[in-house]
Chains A and B, each alone.
Chain A
Amino acid sequence: MRRLINQRPGRGATAMLSMLPFVLVLCAYLFYSHARLLDKPGDKLLPAPSTIAETLHRFAFEEDERSGDYLFWTDTGASLERLTVALITSSVLGLSLGLAIGVLPYLRATIAPFVAALSLIPPLAILPILFIVVGLGELAKITLIVIGVTPVIVRDLALRTAELPGEQIIKAQTLGASTWQLVLRVVLPQLWPRLIDVLRLSLGAAWLFLIAAEAIASTEGLGYRIFLVRRYLAMDVILPYVAWITLLAFIMDWGLRLLRAKAFGWAAPQ
């Protein structure tokens, strides 16, 4: 009998095993939902799959009576737009600041401790300040995500820059590189895949801040909808919305991973 650490599943078994927890959760849901609905047909806590499908159909393919929108898609569009704008802003800010801190000792001495302190402020604690200063509009929600995500990106990329072997930096100088050329040809190209890594790790936090901001002050968005229908215990809306958010987050993560593998093949683990 081989040790447990040396027993590995084959390809087919790996695929089956990875599906197992999903199937188990689904089965458990179907079982308890059925049991509760048998007991009390109007139960809202664990709606039947058919109820969820009806509700989803109504949200996605029928105009809302009041606004005339297809709510599911306007919610998705609004949330994704906020998330995308915020993540692009954070990437630009994080990359330029992180790179500058990593490369320039004077800048590092000046603002690295400041960024470290800033990153410790809980972003949700200053959400009221944001609402007071920039109002309740889109800017507040985007700013919240940017404030929550950027310090992490800055600090991570500054660290990654510092991790570049000193030999490389010296070699570039012996090839005549100025500071600017060093940044352009040696440091920046090596930071792109790092940026994708840290973005992937920040996606969870970005969604968290997005939904928090939407829950508090918004008129559309995935987080807004969930918190709106919570009052009516509308699990038939909340559950598919949560699943949809999870799927969107997964697709974004997968897309970033794919981009990294395609565009930065040199950085693939050997």
Chain B
Amino acid sequence: MTQVTVKHLWKEFANQVVLENVNLHVGDHEFVTIVGASGCGKTTFLRMLLGVESPSRGTFLIDGEPLPDEPGPDRGIVFQRYSLFPHLTVMKNLMLGLELRDSRVFGRLFGAPRRRALERARELLDAVGLQAAADKYPAQLSGGMQQRLSIAQSVIREPKILLLDEPFGALDPGITADMHALILKLWNLNKMTIFMVTHDLQESFALGTRLLVFDKVRVDPQSPESFGATITYNIPLKGHRTSP
């Protein structure tokens, strides 16, 4: 059960207010889609969830605990690009999460544990349709295949929360439908909570159980940096949740 609670959250950089007075509650197994204009703080919000930015003021709780101040295995991430390991094959990219979990000293598995990890990775590889590319390097894959791998890699540790930072933004429109089906399947399979930042309004309505719109409510034309954005719309959607 994952609950995310945000109360009176402010985020300021040196002389710029990015987020002001953000309030939010997200329950378990939600698919939250986040839209908003460029520079309205939606990526900053995601980076706070990730643990690479910290709130300036206010409360940001995951399951009643304050936000961790560094990334960890309970929160997975899929970036738009660059998050695969170029020196590892597709299969080894997938297995890495399991190897890091089970071998603290060497980060590598041998013998029976390795075979178990291999089996688990192969299941996931089948689920994302990459079984034929298991021995290829990321640079040999198309953009869509790279994102499939990146998604599979992020869910192999079964995170409570999965963060998606415009994951399909760099892909051909033709293959996004496949990607949507894939992410919904994994979301229902793993019962995690997803936060997804996107530019595509249609996508945000199609996938989410909750749509958040980030925007500025106050604007000073003389100094646009003095007011931040907040959640202006918090819309519950039907979503594609399958009952347990």
Residues of chain A touching chain B, judged by Cβ–Cβ distance below 8 Å, are: 165, 167-168, 170-178, 180-181, 184-186, 189-190, 264-267, 270
Contact = CB atoms under 8 A, between A and B. Distances in A.
A168 B82 contact: yes
Which DSSP category, helix, strand, loop or mixed, fits chain B's interface? loop
Q: Interface size bucket, B side?
A: 35 or more
B113 interface: no
A266 B87 contact: yes
B224 interface: no
B159 interface: yes
Given A170-B77, A171-B79, A185-B107, A176 B97 contact: yes
B86 A190 contact: yes
29 contacts: A165-B82, A167-B79, A167-B81, A167-B83, A170-B50, A170-B52, A171-B83, A173-B70, A173-B71, A173-B72, A174-B72, A174-B73, A174-B154, A174-B157, A175-B73, A175-B100, A175-B156, A175-B157, A176-B97, A176-B157, A178-B100, A178-B104, A181-B107, A184-B107, A185-B96, A185-B107, A190-B85, A264-B87, A266-B87
Contacts of B85: 168, 172, 186, 190
Given A170-B77, A175-B156, A176-B157, 10 more contacts: A171-B83, A173-B72, A174-B72, A174-B75, A175-B97, A175-B153, A176-B72, A190-B85, A266-B86, A270-B139
B136 to A, nearest CB: 10
B76 interface: yes
Given A170-B52, A266-B139, A176 B100 contact: yes
Contacts of B79: 167, 170-171
A57 B137 CA distance: 51
B54 to A, nearest CB: 15
